[in-house]
Chains A and B, each alone.
Chain A
């Protein structure tokens, strides 16, 4: 019998687990509803549950993209939900003042980048723990959002703006397409340049990276800025989706879903190696889970329970201690069987 841990085996890609999890959920749904995967053409665009999942999941996917980079540097950004609320409010305001869509989007991106910059400077320059540093904006941000909207839910009537979340391009939903495009652009930007490598290096061993000549602090700040921009754009999608800016509720718990997507997607909270595609699939998994609960007749509000179990399971799989424990149990089993 071969000793199972005599030689470090190449770990199974986390993407395999994700796809398996998704497949399992789809199968579960198919037993309840054989038409689960059916996509039809209706009113000049695609129609069906998978399309809904993609459209609804696009917001978490977008947030998860930015969160991935922050987590890869060994940090975390709790403020993204509040940033969503602020940008939504800012968008409503600029549109009410008759500004163009381009100006509105630029404002959203600017607000997101500024929020990310503030977080990044606190973390990288002042050396404040990421959880602590981003908690400040998480708490204050929602107040700022309500300050902008004056505490009201601002109705947005702007066809082009709403199109961002609910429109279709050649029959396909725009939001997931846009997020997909952003993914491709970020992926290319991270891997064509050395940015992706630098982020992984800083997250893996910050001291060693600095000694190798990396500007570790700058890498971290930029990761937070990117995360802020993603949060800003997510705020746009949220506001466009409901046609209103709600400073109080917009993006509620969004940071938790994004962190969940990233961790389940295979990027460890300790930083280092990251996979953007894994985070996208993780976000998709959350959305499918929520839809599944709905299909099974369970109140969608109960969906957090399986989420919790998935988090604990994934964390245990990543824990060295747990793996050692399982390996030992496995070996004992093998010996007694032989």
Chain B
């Protein structure tokens, strides 16, 4: 009982996922299939990776609007290097990851050192990354490279008919690492403490500045990783890739039970959030009669109910205290 009460948002999220998935399975023939489940993961892998980074930033009480643009920039950057200049993919990836982390660190520094609003600075980061993406190329660039072929055909056989594509594996890896960071590393605990009360965190002697800058850098890194996964998934780089991705990521984080004002949440909630997001998407596809825009309306409705639920939970706590 205690464990359930303590993790109420997480439990609610899990229940919603189970209900949605179950309902979709009952309504649509063939929904309960390995193919649906794996594609649900593979289709949302890059969104999921970005959402993990966003979760950590939101834990610290910040927000990052730039990730969608970083995904776009990374994809066209990688494609340009690999296809245009013959750079080996591994080198291009390393460069892209370094750039993503550097942009994140720069934004984190501005936010922490000059006490500027994260919203505004990452908005600037978004403009910057998107603009630079278009400066590289305004068109989509296809990537043809043996390594890309190999990776996009790669899958990991879990059983006879169960194959996990590389993107899904990578997503699981990031979830695992994110979980370790958030719940088992001092860094992650410091982030939650900062999001809970930055002043107290300072008085407790926690390394507030380093953690804040670090989390934006990590988020930039993960956004770049998401961008690389996106090039694997589509086999091309495109400067418009990831438009609006930051909104989906924020929505997923909130649906995953994380408090948008920071300081409270569970990283595995974000995994559930991605699954809910993917289930709604697949169900709408399966239905055929429901149009794609119901996706946004449902996500909005889920957002509203979660924010109200959190409001209610936090108020309840405040009253008791």
Contacts and interface: CB of A to CB of B under 8 A. Distances in A.
A146 to B, nearest CB: 4
Nearest to A248: B293
Contacts of A126: 308, 311
Given A142-B296, A269-B117, A305-B131, 8 more contacts: A143-B299, A269-B119, A298-B135, A304-B126, A304-B128, A304-B134, A308-B131, A319-B114
A147 B293 contact: yes
B contact face: mostly helix, strand, loop, or mixed: helix
Contacts of A132: 254, 260-261, 307
B77 to A, nearest CB: 14
Nearest to A293: B131
B114 A321 contact: yes
A305 B128 CA distance: 4
Given A305-B128, A308-B128, A256 B303 contact: no
Which of the four size classes fits the interface of chain A? 35 or more
Given A256-B123, A319-B115, A138 B247 contact: yes
A143 B293 contact: yes
Contacts of A133: 307
A299 interface: yes
Given A142-B296, A312-B124, A302 B307 contact: no
Contacts of B121: 311-312, 315
A254 to B, nearest CB: 13
A311 B124 CA distance: 6
A307 B127 contact: yes
Interface residues of B, number: 46
Contacts of B100: none
B131 A139 contact: no
A147 B297 contact: yes
Interface string B123-159: 1111110111011001000000000000000000000
A4 interface: no
A76 interface: yes
A259 interface: yes
A321 B113 CA distance: 8
A278 B113 CA distance: 28
Contacts of B138: 299, 301
Contact of B115 (A144, A252, A321): A321
A132 to B, nearest CB: 5
Given A128-B307, A312-B110, A319-B114, A139 B296 contact: yes
B247 A131 contact: no
Interface in B223-277: 239, 243, 247, 250-251, 254, 260-261
A147 B239 CA distance: 28
